[in-house]
Amino acid sequence: MSRPRTRSLRRQLLAGILIPVLLIVAFNTWSLYHQALGALHTAYDRTLLASAKSLGESLQISGEGDAARLQANVPSAALEAFEADLQSRMAYRISTRQGVLLSGYEDLPMWRGEIPVQPPYAALADFYDGQFRGEPVRMAVLLQPVARGAGRDVAVVQVAETLEIRHALARQILWDTLARQAALVALIAATVIAVVQLATRPVRRLSHDLQARPDDDLRPIAAPDAPRELQPLIAATNEHMRRQGDLLAQQQRFVRDASHQLRTPLAVLKAQVQSARRGDVPPAQALAEIEDTVDRATLLANQMLALAKVAQLRQQADAPATAFDDVVRAVALDLAPLIAGQALDFDLRAEPVTLRAHDWMLRELTRNLLHNAIRHTPHGGLLAITLQREGGHARFTVADSGPGVEPDLAARLFQPFSAGAGGTGSGLGLAICHEIVQALGGHIQLRNRVENGRIAGLDAVVTLPIE
């Protein structure tokens, strides 16, 4: 199977930082270009206005009254002083308000606009973009009053300039800006890469240390120099390795105990088979002894598997809600033949109690405690089960009328393969109960019940929290 492609932290940071930066740079460059173009228009429009005013100074008027006529005496080199380094060309047109050409280029389109209410300069001037001989031009229009004696008139002075110089300067500003912005983006990218390399150095060192560890090394990770943001991950990893270590230890203990405990019944079974083959005992007796040995070995194997299953379920946190009282009644019904076989005086009182626990765990707990009580209760004795709520806890009690237990032995009975005096079990029943109770966050106790100064029986008391 191919390994899924993993996302690089460096690439994510570069993309997350550089993409917004590039967008801002692009917008800033576009805005700066247009601002520069506007500033160039303003500067060169002033030159156009000056050229129009220069042309306006050459206007004269002849005649008076209705016979007054405008005249334009414009020298051929009048606009050469305003042309910038031969990079742009200029053209002009001087005409009357009625459009009669006085001087200049006849094919320069006549101005048909209006003077703005608030012109940009202290003059009757207007600026606009147009076309002249197929080229884009910038035009300035000046309404120049001319007076002489009683003769007065207004001339329309138009000056057009091609846009080569303006666009060249704007492009120069654009490229200079792009060069500076590119240097800034490169600096940001280099900084991000350097910072990421520095910030992820503890992670790479930690990865190298973990890869160099042996497979069975589950010691906690020590990374005091790791970034604060990684400390929760390290803590969670240490907790996970601790649980894995506990699980591994349980598995090793299970294998060790299983190999040790199953060796004895298998050896006994082999000796019984050899004895039966030699004819040392009658066949019926030999088969009965073999069956008893097989039953004990089967019980031991089942209980050891149950103990291993408890350890497995402890790793699962999503336990369902289970009605404990229903489980107690069901288990009591399953063991009813054993209770009836010993003619026990049985009493069951169970209040409705719901716990966050696996059904199997509650059944195994009830079955082991009840089966243990039945085995130690004399024929015709008393056996009682009580389940009740006490605040935020459930109290489950199995009370028998057996001989009780020695105080120093009560604690050791919860250890695996620890049986009481004269016990015939495998020594795992109470150990399984203890593991289940521990997994459910409760506790279990064995208490001798004393009546009239003597031991009247044994109470197995389990206290479990109710969610």
Per-residue pLDDT at 146: 80
User: Has residue 440 got a pLDDT over 80?
Assistant: yes
Q: Are 373 and 402 spatial neighbours (Cβ–Cβ below 8 Å)?
A: yes
Cα distances from 10 to residues 196, 227, 410, in angstroms, run 6, 16, 61
Residue 82 is assigned to a structural domain of this protein: yes
Q: Give the integer Cα–Cα distance in Å for 385 and 396.
A: 8
| Mean pLDDT value across residues 222-227 | 75
User: Has residue 386 got a pLDDT over 80?
Assistant: yes
Write out the two tokens for 142. Answer: 């000046």
Residue 32 is assigned to a structural domain of this protein: yes
Q: 3-class SS at 21?
A: helix
Same domain, 64 and 125: yes
For the chain, how many helices (H) and strands (E)? 10, 14
Name the pTM for this structure: 0.47
Q: Binning pLDDT at 50, 70 and 90, where does residue 374 land?
A: very high
CA 5 distance to own-chain centroid? 17
Among 262, 294, 313, give the residue marking a domain's end. 313
- Of residues 67 and 73, the one with the higher pLDDT is 73
Identify the burial level of 19 via C-beta atoms within 10 angstroms of its C-beta, where 0-12 means exposed, 13-18 middle and 19 or more buried: exposed
Same domain, 404 and 258: no
Residue 375 is assigned to a structural domain of this protein: yes
Q: Return the minimum-mean-pLDDT range out of 260-274, 412-426, 434-448.
A: 412-426
Q: 3-class SS at 250?
A: helix
Same domain, 26 and 156: yes
- Of residues 3 and 62, the one with the higher pLDDT is 62
Among 269, 284, 313, give the residue marking a domain's end. 313
Per-residue pLDDT at 3: 55
Instruction: Classify strands 90-96 and 101-104 as parallel, antiparallel or unpaired.
Output: antiparallel
Among 128, 148, 171, give the residue marking a domain's end. 171
Same domain, 330 and 294: no
Same domain, 295 and 368: no
Same domain, 145 and 251: no
Same domain, 160 and 275: no
Q: Name the one residue in this structure whose structure tokens are 């800034």.
A: 184
Q: 3-class SS at 405?
A: coil
Residue 40 is assigned to a structural domain of this protein: yes
Same domain, 278 and 376: no
Find, among 352, 446, 356, the residue nearest to 402 by Cα: 446
Same domain, 78 and 99: yes
In sequence order, the β-bridge partners of residue 394 are: 389, 464
Per-residue pLDDT at 31: 85
Residue 303 is assigned to a structural domain of this protein: yes
Tens digit of each residue's pLDDT (9 = 90 or more) over 2-37: 555 667 777 777 788 888 888 888 888 888 888 887
Residues 6 or more apart in contact with residue 266 via CB below 8 angstroms: 297
Q: Are 10 and 196 spatial neighbours (Cβ–Cβ below 8 Å)?
A: yes
Residue 208 is assigned to a structural domain of this protein: no
> Whole domain around residue 457: which residue ranges?
321-465
Q: What is the CATH number of the domain that holds 270?
A: 1.10.287
Q: What is the CATH number of the domain that holds 420?
A: 3.30.565.10
Residue 178 is assigned to a structural domain of this protein: no
Residue 297 is assigned to a structural domain of this protein: yes
Same domain, 337 and 373: yes
Per-residue pLDDT at 63: 64
Q: Are 158 and 93 spatial neighbours (Cβ–Cβ below 8 Å)?
A: yes
Same domain, 36 and 167: yes
CA 394-395-400 angle, to 5 degrees, is 150
Tens digit of each residue's pLDDT (9 = 90 or more) over 231-247: 888 888 888 888 778 77
Same domain, 345 and 408: yes
Tens digit of each residue's pLDDT (9 = 90 or more) over 104-130: 888 888 988 888 877 777 678 888 888
Q: Name the one residue in this structure whose structure tokens are 């334009």.
A: 72
Per-residue pLDDT at 308: 67
Q: Name the one residue in this structure whose structure tokens are 């704007």.
A: 170
Write out the two tokens for 285. Answer: 């007796």
Per-residue pLDDT at 1: 47
What backbone torsions phi and psi does residue 62 show, to the nearest 5 degrees?
A: -120, 145
How many domains does the chain fold into? 3
Q: What is the mean pLDDT of the chain?
A: 80
